[in-house]
Amino acid sequence: MVTTIQITENAKKELDRLKTDKETYEDVIVKMINQIDEQKRKNIELMIEGAKETAEESLKITKEFEAIEEDFDWEWKEN
């Protein structure tokens, strides 16, 4: 099914700027959609990698505290 859309003259100029002679407007729009989807995927991968690194650092710090915990006699005193 083919449909018609309306865009402003400025949007058309931008599409014209992005389009090659052999590309259709649909080609340009689909290419942009694919680029956006790819960037979203990369962002998710980066966030996951960052969360993993943060978790690893947190685990290292926890292990360091556990190692020195035996050296101290921690006692909570209520006033």
The 10s digit of each residue's pLDDT in 21-63 is 999 999 999 999 999 999 999 999 999 999 999 999 999 999 9
Task: Record the tokens describing residue 42, joined without a space.
Answer: 């990369």
Angle at which helices 25-69 and 9-18 cross, to 10°: 80
- 3-state SS, residue 20: coil
Single pTM value for the model: 0.66
* C-alpha dihedral sign at 20, 5, 36, 26: negative
